[in-house]
Amino acid sequence: MLLAPDLTAKQIGSLGERLCRAWLIEHHWHVLACNWHCRFGEIDIIALTSHSTIVFVEVKTRRSTSCGIPEEAVHAAKQMRVRRAAICWLGEHGSTIRHIGVRFDVIAVTVTPTDVFIHHVPEAF
């Protein structure tokens, strides 16, 4: 069994972020930061692709899709907070990392008692 049914929502979210980081590394991305905070909000994962694009990743994790797919939870207000936080991060770190562009992706993780499903949505917003 991959997932104990008694995990809290916070624990499910942490599990999803760990699985997402492993998935990104497996796909040859370099993870630059995790759970980065500024006054505008938090960015779950900041990574650099093998093609030198900085990607700000919003990770959404669910136990099932009975209440909708995880990526549907990234609403307009959340997108705006992530964009503003990304501007802060780029202001602090962007000049130190050679890159050709930036984008915003969503990675949806669905964790069931027996399996894990990861769905990557590039350029989600």
Q: Which of 100, 95, 101 is nearest to 123 (CA)?
A: 101
Residue 3 located in a structural domain: no
| Interacting residues of 20 by C-beta distance below 8 A, sequence separation 6+ | 44, 45, 57, 59, 107, 109, 118
CA distance 77 to 17: 21
Q: Is 104 within 8 Å of 125 (Cβ atoms)? A: yes
pLDDT higher than 80, residue 87: yes
pLDDT score recorded for residue 90: 98
Q: Is 65 a member of any domain? A: yes
Identify the pLDDT of residue 1.
Answer: 47
Question: Residue 23 falls within a domain, yes or no?
Answer: yes
pLDDT digits (tens, 9 = 90+) for 35-63: 999 999 999 999 999 999 999 999 999 88
Mean pLDDT of 69-83: 89
Please report the pLDDT score of residue 4 as a whole number.
54
Establish if 64 belongs to a structural domain: yes
pLDDT reading at 9 higher than 50? yes
| Number of domains forming the structure of the chain | 1
Cβ atoms 109, 69 nearer than 8 A:
no
Tell me whether residue 111 is in a domain: yes
Residue 4 lies in a domain: no
- Start-to-end CA span in the chain (Å): 34
For residue 16, the number of C-alpha atoms closer than 13 Å in the C-beta half-sphere is 31
At 104, the pLDDT band (50, 70, 90 cuts) reads: very high
**In the predicted structure, residue 123 carries a pLDDT above the cut 70:** yes
On whether residue 1 sits in a domain, the answer given is no
Range of the domain at 43: 9-121
Whole-number percent of the chain with pLDDT over 90: 76
| H helix or E strand, kind and range, residue 84 | helix 76-93
How confident is the model at residue 91, as a pLDDT? 96
| CATH code, domain with 13 | 3.40.1350.10
The answer to whether the predicted template modeling score (pTM) of the entire model surpasses 0.95 is no
pLDDT exceeds 70 at position 20: yes
